[in-house]
Amino acid sequence: MTGKTLYDKLWDTHVVRSDADGTALIYIDRHLVHEVTSPQAFEGLRLAGRKPWRADSILATPDHNVPTTGREQGITDPVARLQVETLDQNCAKFGITEFKMNDLRQGIVHVISPEEGATLPGMTVVCGDSHTSTHGAFGALAHGIGTSEVEHVLATQCLLQKKSKNMRVNVDGKTGAGVTAKDIVLAIIGEIGTAGGTGYAIEFAGEAIRNLSMEGRMTVCNMAIEAGARAGMVAVDDKTIDYVRGRPYAPAGAMWERAVAAWRELHSDADALFDQEVHIDATTIRPQVTWGTSPEMVVPVDGRVPDPQQEPDPVRREGMERALAYMGLEPGMPITAIRPDKVFIGSCTNGRIEDLRAAAEAVRGRKVAAGIKQALVVPGSGLVKRQAEQEGLDRIFIEAGFEWRDPGCSMCLAMNADRLEPGERCASTSNRNFEGRQGQGGRTHLVSPAMAAAAAVTGHFVDVRQMNQE
Of the residues 92, 262, 325, 398, which one makes contact with other proteins according to CB under 8 A = 262
CB of 212 to other proteins, least distance (A): 25
Say whether residue 147 binds other proteins (CB under 8 A). yes
- Residue 445 and residue 186: Cα distance in Å, rounded? 12
Within positions 190 to 219, which residues make up the interface with other proteins, using CB under 8 A? 194-195, 198-199
Q: Please say whether the beta carbons of 66 and 114 come within 8 A.
A: no
Say whether residue 64 binds other proteins (CB under 8 A). yes
Say whether residue 308 binds other proteins (CB under 8 A). no
Of the residues 2, 21, 177, 470, which one makes contact with other proteins according to CB under 8 A = 21
- Residue 371 and residue 457: Cα distance in Å, rounded? 10
- Residue 257 and residue 301: Cα distance in Å, rounded? 46
Q: Please say whether the beta carbons of 2 and 273 come within 8 A.
A: yes
CB of 329 to other proteins, least distance (A): 18
Say whether residue 51 binds other proteins (CB under 8 A). no
Counted residue by residue, the chain has a size of 470
Say whether residue 398 binds other proteins (CB under 8 A). no
CB of 407 to other proteins, least distance (A): 18
Which of 48, 337 has the CB closer to other proteins? 48
- Residues 84-123 as x/- pattern, contact with other proteins by CB under 8 A: --x--------xxx-------------------xx-x-xx
CB of 313 to other proteins, least distance (A): 10
Q: How many CA atoms lie within 13 A of 284 on its CB side?
A: 9
Q: Please say whether the beta carbons of 165 and 199 come within 8 A.
A: yes
9: left (phi over 0), alpha (psi -120 to 50) or beta: alpha
CB of 78 to other proteins, least distance (A): 9
Q: Please say whether the beta carbons of 309 and 332 come within 8 A.
A: no
- Across 133-167, b (16+ Cβ under 10 Å) vs e yields bbbbbbbbbbbbbebebbbbbbbbbbbebebbebb
Of the residues 6, 8, 9, 57, which one makes contact with other proteins according to CB under 8 A = 57
**SS3 label, residue 232:** strand
The alpha carbons of the chain give a radius of gyration, in whole angstroms, of: 21
CB of 315 to other proteins, least distance (A): 5
Say whether residue 29 binds other proteins (CB under 8 A). yes
Of the residues 316, 367, 373, 395, which one makes contact with other proteins according to CB under 8 A = 316
CB of 325 to other proteins, least distance (A): 12
CB of 363 to other proteins, least distance (A): 29
- Residue 20 and residue 3: Cα distance in Å, rounded? 23
Closest CA to 338 of 420, 431, 427, 440: 427
Other beta carbons within 10 Å of 445 = 25
Within positions 427 to 456, which residues make up the interface with other proteins, using CB under 8 A? 432, 434-437, 440
Closest CA to 132 of 153, 146, 148: 146
- Residues 408-427 as x/- pattern, contact with other proteins by CB under 8 A: -----xxx------x-----
Say whether residue 240 binds other proteins (CB under 8 A). no
Closest CA to 403 of 379, 424, 437, 438: 379
Say whether residue 43 binds other proteins (CB under 8 A). yes
CB of 436 to other proteins, least distance (A): 5
Which of 132, 458 has the CB closer to other proteins? 132
Give the binding range for other proteins (CB under 8 A) out of 145-153, 270-278, 298-306, 344-352: 145-153
Give the binding range for other proteins (CB under 8 A) out of 49-57, 265-273, 337-345, 380-388: 49-57
**SS3 label, residue 280:** strand
Closest CA to 123 of 155, 170, 160, 157: 157
Within positions 328 to 357, which residues make up the interface with other proteins, using CB under 8 A? none
Which of 258, 395 has the CB closer to other proteins? 258
Which of 127, 356 has the CB closer to other proteins? 127
Give the binding range for other proteins (CB under 8 A) out of 36-44, 266-274, 275-283, 329-337: 36-44
